[in-house]
Chain A
Amino acid sequence: MRRSVALLLLVLAASAAGAADAPALKAGVFDPPRAAPDFSLRGSDGGELRLSRHRGKVVALAFGFTSCPDVCPVTLATLTEARKKLVAAGTDLQVVYLTVDPERDDAERMRSYLASFDPSFVGGTGAPEQLEAVRKEYGILAEKVKTAAGYAVAHSSSIFLIDREGRLRALMPYGHPADDFVHDVQILSAP
């Protein structure tokens, strides 16, 4: 009895120490993490895009559109730089980019747009109601706004970080440098 109580205390102390030592992420952290909602969309690689297909890798999930004049190019350039550094350090990162503008963003357009950043990036498009359902699951806002050239889409600019087990662990607000992604992805990739 004494031995099992001592063992229990040891386990509790070890887990408390582990929690205290857990390195903090630069991104905002969900606690407890929930399973990242899965989806089935048309992938920019021509196949079906399912989030669960990337289980085993850390995924950076971003929402945007290929005609975005400012936020998306910065986000994707940051993720390109982060992935380059991660790959050099032996860690993989899968970037998944879902459109908020399915009227203009077909699979081919997304493929060529993403390839200009990093050919490994995967885009997702589909019917407007399909994409709206995905946005709702992630709490993403997107609204069409008229512009002189036609329209743009005002959208949430944060990036979700999903761990190797498919849990929605963190949300990186727009504007963080590539090194913050490198830092967090390395922590999330640790076994």
Chain B
Amino acid sequence: MSLRRPAVRLAAAVLLGVAGVVLLVGIGWAALAPIRFASREEVFEIPKGTWARRMSGDPVEILPSEIRLTLGIRDVLLLRNLDDVPQTFGPALMMPGQSFRLPFEVASSYQFACTAHASGQMTVIVEPQPDAPWARLRWRAKTLWRREEWR
């Protein structure tokens, strides 16, 4: 048993060291690697049957009242109405099967009247492109956090 203790300590130290290196590499990658996505579209869909669910009293929330986009990375809002009835989704009235693709080119906060929300408002916050390492790191961390929150 006494022989084992130093071996356990060593193994623990090695593991900690490896974890530290992995963490540092991860942070370094998150700060330095360019942010790339296959698509610049942030997609929200109204599924089929949404209107029927709302009519039956189910308060369906599809579109968050605040959407955050980032210039050069995710700067296009794509809304799709897959339901059988017209739906007002953000700023647009869309027919069944119709989509609305809204690009943003200026970092700002945009307010839209929207009947899909109890507040009657939808806000789209468009943030500048994160070019500096610290900005990239912060952007990745925030994006990860928001995705977990929205799930």
Query: Can you list 29 A-B contacts (CB < 8 A)?
Result: A24-B103, A26-B103, A26-B105, A27-B102, A28-B77, A28-B100, A28-B101, A28-B102, A28-B103, A29-B101, A30-B92, A30-B94, A30-B99, A30-B100, A31-B98, A31-B100, A32-B98, A34-B98, A139-B88, A139-B92, A139-B93, A141-B113, A141-B120, A154-B113, A156-B113, A158-B91, A173-B102, A173-B110, A173-B112
How many A-B contacts if CB must be within 8 Å? 50
Closest CB of chain A to B91's CB: distance in Å? 5
Q: Given the complex, which residues of A lie within 8 Å of B86, measured CB to CB?
A: 139
Besides A154-B113, A173-B112, 18 more A-B contacts (Cβ < 8 Å) are A26-B105, A28-B91, A28-B92, A28-B101, A29-B100, A29-B101, A31-B101, A32-B97, A32-B98, A139-B86, A139-B88, A139-B92, A141-B115, A141-B120, A156-B113, A173-B91, A175-B108, A175-B110
Residues on A facing B (Cβ under 8 Å): 24, 26-32, 34, 138-139, 141, 154, 156, 158, 171, 173, 175
Q: Determine if B92 and A171 form an interchain contact, defined as CB atoms under 8 angstroms apart.
A: yes
Interchain CA distance A180-B98 in the complex, whole Å: 24
Interchain CA distance A61-B113 in the complex, whole Å: 17
Q: Write the B82-98 contact mask toward A (1 if CB under 8 angstroms, else 0).
A: 00001010011111011
